[in-house]
Amino acid sequence: MRLREKWEDDSIQLGKLANLQMIKAIIYGLSIGDALGVPVEFRERDSFHISNMEGYGTYHQPSGTWSDDTSLSLALIEHLYEESDLNGLMDKFVAYRTGYLTPHGQCFDIGIATNKAIDAYLSGVSPEECGGKCEDDNGNGALMRISPLSMLLRKNFNFTEKFSLIEKYTKITHGHPRSLVASIIYVQILIGLLLNNSLSKVLEQYQPHFENYFKRQPSYWKEYETHFKEIFQPSFFEKDRSEVASTGYVVDTLKAVIWCVGITNGFEEAVLKAVNLGGDTDTIGAITGTLAAALYQLESLPKDWIDQLANKVLIDEKCHQLLDTLYKD
């Protein structure tokens, strides 16, 4: 092999390793936050304190068990790897309800809006129209499962293309403009962190791009100004913990996870801050986990937490599938 060819091959292999580390960071981060939150989901703030992986609790599941947040994210990875259409992805969501891509072969948790979207799909509605469009349909069930898109879109600097793809994958379960705006903000922030920026720099750098895009659609701009604009103000991180809601409402969830990452200094501190807010602990923990893992990178994740993840073999398999997707011709 010529020296130049060897150099090019080595460069490709190093690139693959770096991408795999990023993939594992966000997917392990997601799964860890999810698993930390599962035992205490729906419990009131300060009625418990999580400092490590625990078992049983709300769903009576063993330590390290993750929920629909991780399962549906793995379904998205599998769909991207297979290059199937949206029907293929919805079929995976249907299969999840009977235990597909779960840690122990059973579905014990699924969001109301996602469940309604699956029922709509089974009744013959096209995937693009399955997501609820009413104000009451703004749960966090799309936000929790779309982090894999960040790896596909990381090097795409056409914001219109990126945001359109994020909308496409949000609408299959959540079709209201509020949920679409939340998904766009979340995935782009995740991308910014994967590009080795600080959270403050990401918020400052991307706010004009968000505003330029949202202004094109009055419904988006109204949602952004009313519900999300404060995230981009420095005073947002001066909020007291008592002012941070931790419900399954998409606005509360997005604000909670960004606040948790913004006021902490490491992965472990961020996810524990998130889970101990109470309420929708698994999803807030999971999404915080993706952002914090992207910011602090794979080596910041506690090895014992990674090792305790249930069915880690499945998680690793999907991480490698996402890597393979990035390198398809």
Residue 280 annotated as lining a ligand binding site:
yes
Separation CA 195–CA 183 (nearest Å): 18
Q: From residue 296, how far is each of 16, 85, 91, 157, 203 by CA, in Å? A: 19, 34, 35, 23, 17
Separation CA 14–CA 19 (nearest Å): 9
Separation CA 178–CA 194 (nearest Å): 25
Residue 67 annotated as lining a ligand binding site:
yes
Residue 283 annotated as lining a ligand binding site:
yes
Separation CA 130–CA 120 (nearest Å): 6
Structure tokens that stand for 130 in this block: 């399955």
Residue 34 annotated as lining a ligand binding site:
no
Backbone angles phi, psi at 132, to 5 degrees: -65, 140
DSSP letter at 144 equals G
Could you tell me if 323 and 23 are in contact, meaning their C-beta atoms sit under 8 angstroms apart?
yes
Q: Which amino acid is at 46?
A: D
Separation CA 286–CA 324 (nearest Å): 24
Q: Which residue has the tokens 């999840």?
A: 96
- Alpha helices by DSSP H, listed for the chain, are 3-37, 68-82, 86-96, 112-122, 149-153, 159-171, 177-194, 199-214, 218-223, 250-262, 267-275, 281-296, 303-308, 312-326
Report the binding-site residues for Mg(2+): 67-69, 280, 282-283
Report the binding-site residues: 67-69, 280, 282-283
